Structure formats: structure tokens, C-alpha cells
Amino acid sequence: MALTAIHTDLASPKKCPDKGNARGMETAALLVVVWLATIAAHLFTAFGAGSGFSTDDAMRLVEVRDLLAGQSWFDLTQYRLDPPVGVVMHWSRLIDLPLALLIRAGEVVLPTAMAERVATVVTAVLRGIHEAISEYQVTYPEYQAAKAWMIEVGETGEWPLFLDVWVEHVVEEVATEHRHGSKGTIEGPYYVPGSPTIGSAGSVPMRPNESGTPLVWTGRVTSTDGTALDGATIELWHADNDGLYSQFAPGIPEWNLRGTFAIGADGRFEIHTVRPAPYQIPTDGACGQLIAAAGWHAWRPAHIHVKVSAPGHELLTAQLYFPGDEHNDDDIASAVKPELVLDPKAAADGQTVAYDFVLDPVRS
């Protein structure tokens, strides 16, 4: 529900006594949750001076866990310190209370470990926001403008775009840092599952007059030990020569420049397509307002998206780029990595390129 709607709901006079009562309870419950969350955020902020989760934060969490596990409210001993007698802590139980209640409230919908993780990560996010406000002395008009802008991002459905442009690249780095195989990068918002299946060699669906330089891409899908991955698939999608994606721009056939290559025992593939063009992310909405206000540009370099999968192996999501693109170094989505830049060669009719994929076995 949009914030304006919540506001109207809370502010409107009671129309029927029963509904009014229920609404009163909901409002009270909401206020309690907001109160607990605010206190918890402030406490974590206060105790986590500096960045990250401090040792004091960790000790506080241990104390709260012990309380939730049954240690008496009046027993302030921390038995994990200096065992077996333990150390009497000087910290007030009043500070444990909102944290314990927040974790218990979270447990109604989430297991304990997940509730703690939600509380911890959300607290760190809030701490980052609080620090930026203090560091840059953010004013009330700026706060109100940011609030109005966030409401607009939601109302215009641009959260997926915002997150994929400015957040996903770090999530991807963290998710894949253990890998030894091919580098990956972000998926972005334009993937559509279920594209037409092609064999291990063939052309992606395209219009008879599809413009752009023809590209023939050959390669192999192997495991990190070098064995060919029979049964691998490569799902491929990319923009056309005008920088437009089928199913997101009008007037383009449904599966244009989207296909799923099914790979055989030798792991080899041969993909026929056309080179995509660089494009700007949409600039007519809230993300565009942000880009204009910050004085940034909206360009992504030309790229081909892939999702490579094989039985028993981790899914690889990647994008392949072209050398010399002026936005390889300042991609608005921060997704370009040197390992993902292709090396195409001129051919009689267009270009050819060789690029292999190495997948990591699923970790046991």
C-alpha cells in the first residue's frame, strides 16, 4: 500500500464501530512495531559506533539470546566470559527488552536465525543512512524531497530498475566470490524465462530485416576440471541495434533476440545473432530524475546477457561486452568486468568471436 494510502486510512474518521475498533488495534500494533524498530535501530546505532557490527553489538546479541533462552531477567551474569562463574555485566536489561521483543516478533514469521539476520542487516542499512545524514547535514527540505522521490519510485514501479542499477552489482560480487570458474555479473530487469529452445548451434529468433552487425559466437561449456558439460543450457537475451528489448519495448516480436541453446556431450555451442547497441536506462521516471539531479549519465555499454546452467553446477549469470565501447569504463550499472569483454574478429559477413564458459560444481 502506498504511504499516502496508509496516511489516509489512519486519518479518516471511523465509518463503522467494528471496523473502527479493528483499525484502532491495527494502528496500535503498527505503532508498537514502529516504536520497537526505532528503539532497536537507535540502540544498535548507539552501541555500534563506527561502522559494521561491533564487539559490543555481538555481546549485546549474546546477552539477548541468553535472555530469550531462559536466563533470568535479574541475572546479569554473562556465563560465557570467565567460566564457570561468569562475569556480571553492567548493561541494563531495559536495553535488551526491545531487541528481545523485536526478535520474538520476527520469529512469528521467521525462524530465529533469520529474524536476527533481518534485525542485524536492517540495522546496518539504517546506520548507513543515519551516518550519511549526519555527515552531510541533510536538511528537512532534502529529507522531504527524498521521501517524495521514494514514494514515486514505488508508485511508478521503478524499484526493480533502481535496485538492479545501483545495488545488484554488490549482491552479485558477494554471491559469487567463492567461485573459480567464469566471472559473472548482474542479471538486470530484462530477463524473461522460457525463450524458444534452439539446438547447440543456430540463430536466435530475429526479424527478417534485423539491423546490426551479424555475430557468430562459438565456445564450450565445461566444469572447473575441464570436462564438457553435457545437458548444459545457455539462455541468451540482448537489446537490438536501437538498444531496445523485446517484451519491454512495443512493436518487437515477443522472443526477438532471445533464445535457449541446448548443449550436447561435447559442450560446444555456436550462436548466430547480431551485435546489440549501447542503451540508456529509462530516463522518463523517478530513476531518470535522480540521474539528472545528480548530474550522471544513463548509459549502459552494449552487451549480451546469458544464463548458463548445467546439472550439478552453479548457475552462471553474465553479460558479455565489446572492446572500445565508451561506456565500458563508466557503466551506470557498474556491471562491466575485464574478464567479460569479448575479442571479436572481422569475418566475411560480420564478426566472429570465441568465448567459453567454465561452471563451478555445486558446493556440498
Closer CB to ligand BEZ, residue 161 or residue 229?
161
Instruction: Name which position in 41, 61, 153, 165 contacts ligand BEZ (CB under 6 A).
Output: 165
Residue-by-residue DSSP string for 47-67 = HT-SSS--HHHHHHHHHHHHH
Stretch touching ligand BEZ by CB under 6 A, among 89-97, 181-189, 196-204, 212-220:
181-189
To the nearest 10°, the Cα dihedral for 136, 171, 239, 219? 140
317 to 356, contacts with ligand BEZ by CB under 6 A? 333
Establish if 278 lies at the interface with ligand BEZ (CB under 6 A): no
Choose the one of ligand BEZ, Fe ion, none that binds residue 281, judging by a C-beta under 5 to 8 angstroms depending on kind.
ligand BEZ
Closer CB to ligand BEZ, residue 165 or residue 216?
165
287: its cell numbers: 530513476
184-223 footprint of Fe ion as x/- string (CB under 5 A) = ----x-----------------------------------
Closer CB to Fe ion, residue 186 or residue 358?
186
- Asked if 206 and 340 touch (Cβ cutoff 8 Å), the reply is no
Instruction: Name which position in 54, 154, 190, 244 contacts ligand BEZ (CB under 6 A).
Output: 190
Stretch touching ligand BEZ by CB under 6 A, among 33-41, 91-99, 185-193, 198-206:
185-193
Cα 50 to chain centroid distance, Å, stands at 25
> What is the H or E stretch that residue 269 is in?
strand 268-274
Closer CB to ligand BEZ, residue 334 or residue 352?
334
Instruction: Name which position in 48, 184, 188, 278 contacts ligand BEZ (CB under 6 A).
Output: 188
Please give the C-alpha separations between residue 323 and each of 71, 135, 153, 216, 329, in angstroms, as whole numbers: 62, 39, 34, 16, 11
Count of residues near Fe ion by CB under 5 A: 1
162-191 footprint of Fe ion as x/- string (CB under 5 A) = --------------------------x---
**Nearest distance from C-beta of residue 284 to ligand BEZ, angstroms:** 14
The CA distance from 242 to 222, in Å, is: 33
**Nearest distance from C-beta of residue 165 to ligand BEZ, angstroms:** 4
Establish if 166 lies at the interface with ligand BEZ (CB under 6 A): no
Instruction: Name which position in 61, 232, 274, 281 contacts ligand BEZ (CB under 6 A).
Output: 281
Looking at the DSSP bridge assignments, the partners of residue 321 are: 303, 341
111: its cell numbers: 525462524
Count of residues near ligand BEZ by CB under 6 A: 10
Closer CB to Fe ion, residue 65 or residue 183?
183
The CA distance from 267 to 260, in Å, is: 14
Q: What is the largest CA-CA distance in the chain?
A: 83
Closer CB to Fe ion, residue 102 or residue 336?
336
DSSP at 85: T
**Nearest distance from C-beta of residue 187 to Fe ion, angstroms:** 9
- CB within 8 A of 75, min separation 6: which ones? none
Helix, strand or coil for residue 11? helix
The CA distance from 26 to 39, in Å, is: 20
Sheet containing strand 258-262, edge to edge, reads 197-198, 258-262, 233-238, 303-309, 316-321
Please give the C-alpha separations between residue 19 and each of 16, 28, 29, 156, 261, in angstroms, as whole numbers: 5, 14, 15, 31, 56
Establish if 291 lies at the interface with ligand BEZ (CB under 6 A): no
Which residues of this chain interact with ligand BEZ, rule CB under 6 A? Answer: 161, 164-165, 186, 188-190, 281, 300, 333
Which residues of this chain interact with Fe ion, rule CB under 5 A? Answer: 188
